[in-house]
Chains A and B, each alone.
Chain A
């Protein structure tokens, strides 16, 4: 009997059976007998969310280019499928072969946001894999984790055998080849393998480091157990993005729930240095792809997918130094083929009429800007170098293209915030409405709606604000109420993020390995999929913290001193602690820092090398 036939009766009872069987165009099939390493790539989210992730596509491509490795995809089942799996004892399987996860050599999990930790663990539970690395024997696969969250791997350190820190394209291939070599030589034991992997560079093996604590609960030291492993793990980068593997035939989902669009990654890193932004720091140094390579990849992707939208992504698309060359190159054929361009992350100050004309994608729907803070003082504190004038000019351009709806992103709870800064959010929104009426009637649409979306600030590792205390829940909620009372204009829609979610993110983001028992309970007691609001329960999280003797305030609401050993000090992301401390000082002095394009501020990321445009040492 064919494997899926065995589950046919179950698949007939779930909402989206197609999401559990694979078989899409460009899915990679290999013969098990021909490969030495079977790699399962777990994205701890349901298929329709995970399939849009570019990082996963890149790693799938990088690993499968090697004939000796077969990388397959694994997504978390939706709640109805999970129910069926639990009832009927169906194990977690990979899409390509349909084989259970325990058949694999290496299981790689990508951790994209903190609230996905319980989901990641519940996938292992469904696979029948013990969660703690120390409880897994020689017969169990090697578990490696990577992704943005692993810049602070400590909260989940007890679960994974090792972490791939930084960009995984070549690191995961090297890891797989080491595995193959040791298996073939007969020198493989889990312990020997992990010790060797720790020497490859860019791999953190938590079991090889002792963590000691001070009486006040802070970390005293990380001590490596061997002399030949690094005392800090330096992240990996791809030196030259032009020659790095890029998927031009990504697996094409048939289901309509997944976004159909071509994604081009213009560069990695960010020249800006916003002080709250983790991505802006951890992806440095800035490495750009050349417009020629991007144009070639776009054409190839178009031929292979037939998609009619090209999305140019990066942390701040308009900072790409060859943006005009690239958009002109693309427009030379996209217009005629009715393919539109979209630039999802545009800076307010670079939003011009010319760009607006080019990006037909923007013509659909509303348009979003992120001033992040309501007053110039606060924007200086966070180093968001845009002014009120910039914003009003940008929204006016949008209005003049008959946009009737504009969305503005803000943060509350930033360091040094006062009620004036909150008032500033309300005022700025009113001015954005006012800018609409200042345009002559024939130059604008009929009506205007400004949506103000405010999230609560979560201090993140490797930012200038990594030492700050997060607002307590009651303060966050008080500020939300205050803002609501300040926004009275009926043309303004006020949206706020769930403060309770921000609070839990605040605990997990800067946590350490003592959080692990709480995450196990969260996974087993219904907090998987907590990223979906209907599965999130703040009360439940608190109850779990209580049962596991964890004081959430210790992680979320405590200001750290500059000399405290931070859980993520074990990682070297390129940007130095001294630079971050300097930036923190400038924040409190309300001084801005120019972008890397103006001059190099010596963040330290250039030590990692890479073909970069801006760094001084190049």
Chain B
């Protein structure tokens, strides 16, 4: 899914448009900021970093930022992509440094390049889902494995938004389920992110929760941590 985000800023220019793609991590405390606040933070950061950004023409010129995939509040990510249009070629190393100096430390840029392909080519993302639960671990892990293997697994109770039925089992067939040293259940999921295929890992958890009381009880002890590990292309290889 490609999401275009525009934020207000003036100063039009009629320079060429060069796409600069940046890879970044959003971890720790930054996982609690919304996509909208992230866009806003980035827009200001671009300005503070003095990157030669290209502004849209017209009455209300804005820098254009395109994100590969939206992130839900509470999710960490080790592999995010954003494209910003520049008016000139910039040294990727300098862009990374300048941006990192202008954003909170739990947001880190680590790769920049002029891309050849499009962000719409991102097809899948790999997630790690850590489940803290008071249920007996090996048995619960086993039940989860069985549920994820069932292609008809459905989520009817979405945690956010409207109630809507969604089949998730078609995408969870090759999920890996294991136990961590600190006593949590770890799931590795590869889910679609392209238009129409997008599946939020939280829906998978919601589907599981309809069958198992994994989230019942105190949120201090029963909760889910989600982290996006990698974004992938249509062949399920790392997207570059």
Nearest CB in chain A to that of B218: its residue: A88
Give the contacts of A93-131 with B (CB-CB under 8 A). none
Nearest CB in chain B to that of A11: its residue: B32
Partner-binding segment picked from A215-223, A304-312, A449-457, A535-543: A304-312
Expressed in whole angstroms, the Cα–Cα distance for A363 and B28 within the complex equals: 41
Nearest CB in chain A to that of B103: its residue: A25
Q: Count of A residues near B, CB < 8 Å?
A: 37
Expressed in whole angstroms, the Cα–Cα distance for A5 and B226 within the complex equals: 11
Expressed in whole angstroms, the Cα–Cα distance for A1 and B105 within the complex equals: 20
Partner-binding segment picked from B38-46, B121-129, B165-173: B38-46
**B residues less than 8 Å from A303 (CB atoms):** 48
A255 at the interface (CB under 8 A from B): yes
Please tell me if the beta carbons of A10 and B220 are within 8 angstroms of each other in the complex. yes
Please tell me if the beta carbons of B29 and A9 are within 8 angstroms of each other in the complex. no
Give the contacts of B41-82 with A (CB-CB under 8 A). 41, 44-45, 47-48, 73-74
Partner of B32, one of A2, A18, A252: A18
Given known A5-B225, A306-B44, contact A23–B30 (CB-CB < 8 A): yes
Given known A17-B74, A25-B102, A306-B47, contact A8–B29 (CB-CB < 8 A): no
Expressed in whole angstroms, the Cα–Cα distance for A10 and B32 within the complex equals: 12
**B residues less than 8 Å from A306 (CB atoms):** 44-45, 47-48, 102
A293 at the interface (CB under 8 A from B): no
Expressed in whole angstroms, the Cα–Cα distance for A592 and B43 within the complex equals: 51
**B residues less than 8 Å from A12 (CB atoms):** 73-74, 219, 223
With most chain A CB atoms within 10 A of its CB, the pick from B28, B30, B74, B104 is B104
**B residues less than 8 Å from A352 (CB atoms):** none
Nearest CB in chain A to that of B102: its residue: A25
A4 at the interface (CB under 8 A from B): yes
Expressed in whole angstroms, the Cα–Cα distance for A84 and B44 within the complex equals: 33
**B residues less than 8 Å from A24 (CB atoms):** 104
Given known A1-B182, A254-B33, contact A11–B74 (CB-CB < 8 A): yes
**A residues less than 8 Å from B48 (CB atoms):** 303-306
Least Cβ–Cβ distance between B137 and chain A, in angstroms: 16
Please tell me if the beta carbons of B40 and A254 are within 8 angstroms of each other in the complex. yes
Nearest CB in chain A to that of B28: its residue: A23
Least Cβ–Cβ distance between A4 and chain B, in angstroms: 6
Expressed in whole angstroms, the Cα–Cα distance for A260 and B9 within the complex equals: 13
Nearest CB in chain A to that of B220: its residue: A88
Least Cβ–Cβ distance between A15 and chain B, in angstroms: 10
B36 at the interface (CB under 8 A from A): yes
Expressed in whole angstroms, the Cα–Cα distance for A6 and B220 within the complex equals: 6
Please tell me if the beta carbons of A7 and B220 are within 8 angstroms of each other in the complex. yes
- Mask: chain A, 286-311; 1 = CB below 8 Å from B; 0 = not: 00000000000000000111111000
Chain B residues engaging chain A, CB cutoff 8 angstroms: 9-11, 28-30, 32-34, 36-38, 40-41, 44-45, 47-48, 73-74, 102-106, 132, 182, 218-225
Interchain Cβ contacts under 8 Å between A and B, 26 examples: A1-B182, A4-B28, A8-B223, A9-B223, A10-B219, A11-B74, A12-B73, A12-B223, A17-B32, A17-B73, A17-B74, A18-B73, A21-B29, A22-B29, A23-B29, A23-B30, A25-B104, A84-B219, A254-B38, A255-B37, A256-B36, A256-B37, A256-B40, A305-B44, A338-B9, A338-B11
CB-based closest 10 A-B pairs:
A9-B223, A9-B219, A23-B29, A306-B47, A17-B32, A21-B29, A338-B10, A18-B32, A306-B44, A254-B37
Chain A residues engaging chain B, CB cutoff 8 angstroms: 1-2, 4-13, 17-18, 20-25, 27, 84, 88, 90, 252, 254-256, 260, 303-308, 337-338
Inter-chain pairs besides A9-B223, A18-B34, A306-B44, 18 sampled, C-beta below 8 Å: A9-B220, A9-B222, A11-B74, A17-B74, A18-B29, A18-B32, A21-B29, A23-B29, A24-B104, A25-B104, A27-B104, A88-B218, A88-B220, A254-B104, A306-B45, A306-B47, A306-B102, A337-B11
